[in-house]
Amino acid sequence: MLVNVVEFFKNLPAKKCTECGEKITEQHECYGTKCDKCSEIK
């Protein structure tokens, strides 16, 4: 059975930062893996 594409993306789990584990507030289908705090250039 085919899943509606919109439903597929709506049901993705929230992304978590790979460094601190904080929930990322970006769209779930984006390619970023770090939250804003951890992705700052140091």
36 Cβ contact list (under 8 Å, min separation 6):
none
* pLDDT confidence of residue 36: 83
* pLDDT confidence of residue 2: 66
* pLDDT confidence of residue 27: 62
- The alpha carbon of residue 26 and the mean position of all alpha carbons in its chain are separated, in whole angstroms, by 6
pLDDT per position as a tens digit, 1-42: 567 888 887 888 888 999 999 988 766 567 888 888 888 765
**Alpha carbons 39 and 9: distance in angstroms, whole number:** 24
The pTM of the full predicted model, rounded to 2 decimals, is: 0.57
At 21, the amino acid letter reads G
* pLDDT confidence of residue 42: 55
* pLDDT confidence of residue 17: 92
User: What dihedral angle (degrees, nearest 10) is formed by the CA atoms of 22, 10, 28, 14?
Assistant: 20
